[in-house]
Structure 1
Amino acid sequence: MTTPLAPGVSVIEKSSGTHLITGVGTSTAAFVATGVDGDPQQLQSWNSFGAVYLDPKATTKVSAAVQEAVYGFFANGGTECWVVPDGTDTGGKAPDRLALLDVSIVAAPDLTTAVAYQTLVTHCATMRNRVMIVTLPDDTYTPSEPVAPVLGAGKNYAAVYYPYLKGPGSTGTSQTISPCGYIAGVWARVDAQRGVFKAPANEVLNGVTALTQTLSDTTLASFYGVGVNCLRVFPGTGPLVWGARTAAASSDSDNVYLNVRRLLCFLEESIRRATTWAVFEPNDDRLWASLRGTVGTFLTEQWRQGALMGQTPTQAFAITCDSTNNTPAIINAGQVVCDIAVAPVRPAEYVTFTVTQQNPATPATAG
């Protein structure tokens, strides 16, 4: 430390040596364009889509379904997406191209059957940092046809929506539109306004005038039972997203809620990317303490933002990275183990009020 030459206050910056975890993005979408080849295109606005695909001189064209999905994404709050040409009509080439992109939402507006989605859903489950939006366009679909088994083992990385939308879309002419792009925009909007931990439901779909199907409370319950999120219209409101469950909701109690699945994707990916500094470090108490501090600081911030339950951080998460789970055998194998347990917030799906009529002469009490 140098001695000041004159009286006064000096400020010296010094690194604390603490590694910080910065949360990864959660709202960049990828729209798979089946039957189209070429390089993935990154877009930041509807105008940028037009410059690439709607210009008369454009060499690559995408389907009307992809065009309307991208339009709906930006109309509902999305700020960045990719159009990923697949080259086939089954999602065959898309996984390799998607694996190279930093995205967290995947949609395929051209696909029309649950079976065709399986390859992309498997990709999301393999990557563990993104979720697939699945839409069911068949107006004759009934809840007696479970979708989850068709999607395969990765169904907890998929969310299914029904029915289709009606609106002017990008052309200004009334048409039937897949909801996947509009849903992706709602996810992005809720992430920006509240956070990825907030269920992206009870949200208005901008640019939608009606739905292809009107669902009653009874029908809604049947759909919910097989892991299908419904879109609904209530008196005095526009079409709303009325569900936030994964496709595994009917068979996997740990993966019922979409916002919990997406929060875990966010936490895992953020921690994974920000702790690569630990690779090849001496595997001892100092490393374990540093990992506990780094992860603990990050999770405490998530708890403060409302992503985790509990009145204190110790109720919200627990971190074990010491000699109890880093045994000599683990150390000799060149591994360091950090076990993390978190308590995510879950949505209030069912709000119940009990109303009791009281005698005017009796003081009212609730209970």
Structure 2
Amino acid sequence: MPPTPSYPGVYVQEVPSGARPIAGAPTSIAAFLGTALQGPIDKAVRISRFSDYEHVFGGLSGDSELGYAVRQFFLNGGADAWVLRTEDAAPTAQRRGLRALRDADFNLLCLPAVAQGGVLADAASCCEERRAFLIVDAPGAATDPASMAQAAAGAALPGSDHAAVYYPWVHVSDPLKNGAPRLAPPCGTIAGLYARTDGARGVWAAPSGTEARLAGVVSLAASLTDNEIGSLSPLGVNCLRTLPGHGPVCWGARTLQGASEYKYVPVRRLALFVEQSLRGGTQWAAFEPNDEPLWAQIRLNAGAFMHALFRQGAFQGGTPRDAYFVKCDGETTTQNDVDQGMLNIVAGFAPLKPAEFVVIRIAQPAGRIQA
């Protein structure tokens, strides 16, 4: 109740704004599937550091890629992960493990060294249903650019814009062999790179380029030329390369569905982030009266969320009108929708796309330049 004025002067009243801020959804919680020395089978366990993995699953094993992938994830910037131990490396066990992830809340999915087409297809479908993203390892048999190009043109890799493949494999330091290099799939390293990039620059930034250094990577299994990278990139293969002065870096950010509007990894992942954030931030609207006051409140909340992203540089466009829109009114929600208990929110944004091709034009004057 406002205070009753009892003397001449200025009275201050705190009035609830009515706004319901929308928090950004997580973007880099990773899920790993594979065999381990010990631990529960087909039960996802959440960990926040590699020592947790050692405690629950027994640490590194020379017969499994899982531990090395998880170790590389945390080494490259990851901070939150689910680990699910499968009974063995057979496709049936891996599919069962995917189903067992239904209760885990993750954004990135890694199946270290898995190259079986059916399992990868199921993993991509899982990610599409869960609004997550699949990081695929190049097939272990793809030891040179020609064999990788053949694999990319085949049917083993999922043609999904919720997935990206990385080539080649990497050599990491192996504690089990006094630090000697060990060949390992790159998915854990890349998942950690995603997490590091999200935290430093935002999910809309491409996890590639000179800043995308691969921590813990001693060397790459293949050394690629510019022409070889140029032949693989159109196939949706994201290449790893070594740059002088920078070391091993990621040099690609394309999904495995190059023909879609989600050709680029950061565009796809930003859309997933916006979808998840708006979905979670509007749960309160369930069972509210479905009319203009509710629609106006949603426009206010969702618009504030999108504007915050615009100010952080997540979208193209110099003005909010050019960068994004949020629509929730009698056009998006018709009377028939109201009768069916439906509320429709339409949001759109102009995504930033990586500058893959930087062209430098140099003109050489024919005559002498006069001072």
Q: TM-score, normalised by structure 2?
A: 0.88
Alpha-carbon distance change, 132 to 317 in structure 1, aligned in 2, over 3 angstroms:
same
**Alignment partner of 2:135 out of 108, 133, 136:** 133
Instruction: For 1:75, give the aligned amino acid.
Output: L
* 360 and 31 in structure 1: CA distance in 2 versus 1, 3 angstrom threshold: same
Deviation at 1:332, TM superposition (A): 1.6
**Kindly tell me: are residues 132 and 361 of structure 1, through their superposed partners in 2, closer, same or farther at Cα, counting changes over 3 Å?**
same
CA RMSD of aligned residues (A): 2.6
Alpha-carbon offset, residue 14 of structure 1: 3.7
CA 1:142–1:152 in 2, change beyond 3 Å: closer, same or farther? Answer: closer
Q: Does 1:238 align with 2:247?
A: yes
Partner of 2:171: 166
Structure 1: unaligned runs, 5 residues or longer: none
- Indicate whether 1:44 and 2:48 are aligned: yes
Structure 1 residues 85-234: aligned runs within 5 Å: 85-87=85-87, 89-90=90-91, 91-128=94-131, 130-136=132-138, 137-138=140-141, 139-140=143-144, 141-146=147-152, 149-152=155-158, 155-171=160-176, 172-202=179-209, 203-234=212-243
Query: 2:335 — aligned with what?
Result: 328
Aligned residues of 1:134 and 1:159 also touching (Cα < 8 A)? yes
1:115 positional shift = 3.9
Instruction: Call closer, same or farther: CA 1:12–1:131 in 2, change over 3 Å.
Output: same
* Cα deviation, residue 231, structure 1: 0.4
Worse overlay, 93-102 or 205-214 = 93-102
SS at match of 1:92: helix
Q: Contact 1:248–1:256 at 8 Å: present in 2 too?
A: yes
When structure 1 is superposed on structure 2, of 99-108 and 184-193 the one drifting more is 99-108
The alignment partner of 1:2 has SS state of coil
CA 1:68–1:11 in 2, change beyond 3 Å: closer, same or farther?
Answer: farther
Preserved CA contact (<8 Å) 2:118 2:156: yes
Specify the code of the residue in structure 2 equivalent to 1:134: V
CA displacement, residues 76-110 of structure 1 (integer Å, 9 cap, x when unaligned): 11111111123453231233332321211100114
2:34 counterpart of 1:33: yes
- Alpha-carbon distance in 1 for matches of 2:106, 2:271: 15
Compute the displacement of 1:151 (Å).
4.1
Deviation (angstroms), 1:355: 0.8
Answer yes or no: is the 8 Å Cα contact 1:148–1:248 preserved in 2. Answer: no
1:235 to partner: Cα distance: 2.7
Distance in 2 between residues matched to 1:210 and 1:50, nearest whole Å: 25
CA distance in 1, matches of 2:49, 2:311: 32
- The SS at the match of 2:56 is helix
SS at the partner of 1:48? helix
Q: Aligned equivalents of 1:10 and 1:85: distance in 2?
A: 63
Q: Cα offset for 1:234?
A: 2.1
Q: Is the CA contact 1:30–1:105 (under 8 Å) kept in the aligned structure 2?
A: yes
In structure 2, the residue matched to 1:83 is 83
Deviation at 1:167, TM superposition (A): 2.2
Q: What corresponds to 1:338 in structure 2? A: 345
Measured after TM superposition, the shift of residue 276 of structure 1 is 0.9
Q: Secondary structure at the match of 1:319?
A: strand
Change (3 A) 1:210 1:338: same
**Separation (CA, whole Å) in 1 of partners of 2:291 and 2:318:** 32
* Residue 118 (structure 1) shift: 1.3
CA deviation profile, 1:321-340 (whole Å, cap 9, x unmatched): 11222222222222111111
Seen in structure 2, the aligned counterparts of structure 1 residues 198 and 17 have a Cα distance that, compared at 3 Å, is: same
Supply the distance in 1 between the matched residues of 2:354 and 2:366 (Cα, whole angstroms).
Answer: 36
Alignment CA distance shift 1:49-1:242 (3 Å)? same
Instruction: State how far apart, in whole Å, the 1-side matches of 2:204 and 2:339 are.
Output: 38
Matched, 1:349 2:356: yes
CA contact 1:65–1:110 (8 Å) conserved in 2: yes
CA deviation digits over 1:210-264, x for unaligned, max 9? 1111111121112111111000112333111010110112x32x01100011111
Q: Among all aligned residue pairs of Structure 1 and Structure 2, give the percentage whose two residues are the same amino acid.
A: 34
Q: Distance in 1 between matches of 2:8 and 2:49?
A: 55
Instruction: Call closer, same or farther: CA 1:78–1:147 in 2, change over 3 Å.
Output: farther
Contact 1:309 1:316 in 2 (8 A): yes
CA distance in 2 between partners of 1:234 and 1:298 (Å): 38
TM-score calculated relative to the size of structure 1:
0.89
Q: Is the 8 A contact 1:122 1:152 kept in 2?
A: no
Instruction: State the match for 2:3 in structure 1.
Output: 2
Deviation, structure 1 residue 186: 0.4
Change in Cα spacing, 1:148 to 1:334, as seen in structure 2 (3 Å) is: farther
Q: CA deviation at 1:272?
A: 0.4
Cα pair 1:147 1:247 within 8 Å, conserved: no
- Give the count of matched residue pairs: 356
State the match for 1:72 in structure 2. 72
